[in-house]
Structure formats: structure tokens, C-alpha cells
Structure 1
Amino acid sequence: MTVVLKKPQKSARKPKGDGHMRRGEILAAAEKIFIAEGYAGATIRKIADAVGVSSTALYMHFRDKDQILMEISSGAIERLLDLNTQIASRPVDPVARVRLMLEAYMKFALDNPNTYQLVFCGGGDQISPDKIADVLALGDRCFEKFSEPVHDIAARGRLRSGSPVEAAEVLWSGCHGLVSLLITKPSRGWSNPDQLMKVMLDGLLHGLVTD
């Protein structure tokens, strides 16, 4: 018996006059391809095929795949910065603000697994430092906003160990580690994610902050 291998189907070409292609649709397709193929394996042609446009049409929106990745990264970090800014304005205890920020961060990750894996779990080594500088600066702003209530906790004499910056780094890295594993190792058979996030925050905050 002869086995005929089928070629992967491409998205149907978008008809002319269809408003070209919305940038959001291109970005969503690119996320999946970056994760499946790796940065080196992802090409403009593959992204264009996935959304049903020609490579020429895609170049009308993005000059190269570096720009696509930078826009995905900037968009994700801006959303987190906006969440942190909103939470920072709430008239609540700084420990409560830290907890709310970390909850929002982890929920963002689990609600947007492709974006999170691409932006926060990749090395970004393929992109030149000058191109990624703006994204790194935006990430620093986001971390600084998160660190503000941690500094408030330290100023009140409630930080058990380390400097405010070290405590903020530990809090963030602990939550990052949890959601990264939930996203990249889904077959492990984890407990309920909401409960895991609660236990993580209880352990981190009770360990670092005095009552």
C-alpha cells in the first residue's frame, strides 16, 4: 500500500481589499510559529502563509521578524506595567499591593501562555542589543513599579531578609518559575493552578514579611 503524505495546509489567501492584514492577526500567528519553530526557524514566509497573505503584504506592516518579536514583547510588558500602575494607585497596605501585583502577573501568564512563553521564557539572544534596548528599558520600568511597595514594606521595618531589590527579585522569580512550569510542562499533572498560586504567594510573603 502506498502512503501519500499530505503537505500542511496553508491559510487561504486574503482577498485584495480586505484591509491588508490586521497587525494583531499577524502577531498572533507569529507567536505560535516562534514557539513551534524557534526564532531561527520562524521566517516571514511561514508567518505570511499562516495568516494567508503574501510576504510582500506582510512587509507592509513589519520590516522583519525582529520587529514582530519586539512588538509582541513591548505589548506584553506594557500590559503588565498598566496593571501594576493601576494596582499601585489603590489605597491598600503595601503587602496587599505586592500580592495583587503578583496575582495579576501570574494570571496574565496563564491567560496568555504563548505570549508569556515567548517574551519571558526565551533568551532573546538572537536579537542585537540595540534593537532590544527599548524593550529592556520598558521591562525595567515594570519591575520598578512592582518594587515600589516592596520598598514601602522595608521602610516600615517589615522585611525579614535581604534588601528591597533582592526581595522583589525573589518574589518575582518565584512566581515566574511557577507559571513557567505550568505553561511549559502541562502534562506533569499539576494541582489546581489557582491553589498553587495561593500557596506560592502565602509562602513567599509570609517568609519575607513580618506581621
Structure 2
Amino acid sequence: MPKILTDDDIADFRAELCRVATERFAKHGYDGVTMRQLADVLGCSPKTPYRYFKDKADILATVRAAAYGRFADVLEAAAASSTDPAERSRRVGRSYIEFALANPAAYRIMFDLNVPEAMNHPELRREAARARQFITRQAEDLARAGLIVADPQIVGWAMWAGVHGLVVLKLAGLMREGPDFDVLHHNMMRLIFDGARVRPSAAAMPATGRAKR
């Protein structure tokens, strides 16, 4: 007689499947992973994963949503830890880096892997948006406090792009011969911040680079 699965049994299997999938997606990419491979690692029938997820895209969307959720929790805690906009921005930036370096598989899944139809996954959309707001909101707070005068949308995305680039270089092992990571991060943020304290003239901005207001 087949075992009757409890809610805990189902939750435990889904969690283990997601753990295995996270590691394999990060290592082999989306196309390099099959449902049969996941079943083999878990020691179950190739059909078993389909009892818990619609298909491989559903698994990827689920693990990406979980990664974004954990990421957003970390950023949210950092944002709530200070009322000073400049200090809050530094703490959010530091928490971003610490999460990424401590969770390289989750970070790669969040930003390097994507299946277009996966964004129809409601949980993934929600958690990705929640994380994104903490990343870019810091520049808006700096602008409201009068600490920067440049377009906060441009500044926020520039800060995000800069930190993401550093993290990718670090995770790829390409910074061994370069400057110290923390020194480079500090100076990159200082350069962006210093530039953001000067409002660029409209005439100096390329038309395609002007932010929509």
C-alpha cells in the first residue's frame, strides 16, 4: 500500500528538490539540467518530481523566488537598521555583497538564469520586485535628504550595476590580480556618490541617456 504523504512529507521533499535544483542550475545552467537528473540525485522515480512541480521551468521559478525572498529579507533588515540615509545605503550595499558572496548559487540563479515564461510565476514576480525596491530605493532616500542632486533613478541603477559587476567578477575569480575587493567597492561608491552630488546639465546628457520623469 503506497505511503500516504503528510503535509510535512510534501514540504520536505519540495525543499530537498529545490536545494538540489539550486545547486545544479547554478552549476550547469537551465539547459544542462533535466527532470530525470534531478530524480536520480534524489533517488526517486523520474515521474516523482512531476507530482510536486509542473515542469523544470516551474522548479526554476520556485527556487528563484525563494532566493529572491531570502535576499529581500536581508536587504529589508539592513534598510531598517538605520534612520540615516547615507548609513542605511552603506548597510544595504554591504548586506547585498555579503549575501551574494555567501550564497553564490542563489545569486547566479537570481541574476544569470532566466526563462521568459517564468516571470508569469506570481511568487517570483513578487519577491523579485521586493528585493529590487530595496536596491534602488537608497538613492531616492539620499535625494530626499539633499545628499545627491542627480536623478536618483539613474544613480540607483548605477550603484546596482556597479555592485553587481564587482560581485560577478569576484565570484568568477577574476579579482585575484586586481585591487582589494573592499577598497575597490568603497572607491567605486565614492566616485558614484561624488558624481551624484553635481547635477549634470541637460545639454551634456545624450538624449538616449536621459531618464524619463
CA deviation vs aligned residue, 1:3-46 (integer Å, no higher than 9, x gap): xxxxxxxxxxxxxx9x5763232222212322343312311001
Instruction: Check if 1:48 corresponds to 2:39.
Output: yes
SS in 1 for 2:71: helix
Which shows bigger deviation, 28-37 or 173-182? 28-37
Which of 156, 161, 164 aligns to 2:152? It is 164
Structure 2: state its 5+ residue gaps: 199-213
Which of 136, 151, 170 aligns to 1:182? It is 170
Structure 1: state its 5+ residue gaps: 1-16
CA distance in structure 2 between the partners assigned to 1:22 and 1:133 by the alignment: 22
CA contact (8 A) 1:95 1:150 kept: no
What one-letter code is carried by the residue in structure 1 that aligns with 2:165?
G
Structure 1's consecutive aligned runs of 4 or more residues displaced over 6 angstroms after TM superposition are: none
What one-letter code is carried by the residue in structure 2 that aligns with 1:113?
P
Q: Which residue of 2 is the match for residue 58 of structure 1?
A: 49
Between Structure 1 and Structure 2, how many residues are aligned?
190
Instruction: Check if 1:117 corresponds to 2:94.
Output: no
Q: Which residue of 2 is the match for residue 147 of structure 1?
A: 136
CA distance in structure 2 between the partners assigned to 1:145 and 1:139 by the alignment: 10
Give identity over the alignment, percent: 27
CA distance in structure 2 between the partners assigned to 1:160 and 1:196 by the alignment: 24
* Alpha-carbon shift at residue 195 of structure 1 (Å): 4.3
SS in 1 for 2:81: coil
Q: Which residue of 2 is the match for residue 11 of structure 1?
A: none
* Alpha-carbon shift at residue 56 of structure 1 (Å): 2.3
* Alpha-carbon shift at residue 63 of structure 1 (Å): 2.1
Q: Which residue of 1 is the match for residue 204 of structure 2?
A: none
Instruction: Check if 1:135 corresponds to 2:124.
Output: yes
CA deviation vs aligned residue, 1:111-130 (integer Å, no higher than 9, x gap): 111111122123x1x34266
Which shows bigger deviation, 103-112 or 87-96? 87-96
Q: Aligned Cα RMSD in Å?
A: 2.8
Distance 1:142 1:49, change over 3 A: same
* Alpha-carbon shift at residue 160 of structure 1 (Å): 4.5
With normalisation by structure 1, the TM-score equals: 0.76
What one-letter code is carried by the residue in structure 2 that aligns with 1:87?
A
Distance 1:193 1:180, change over 3 A: same
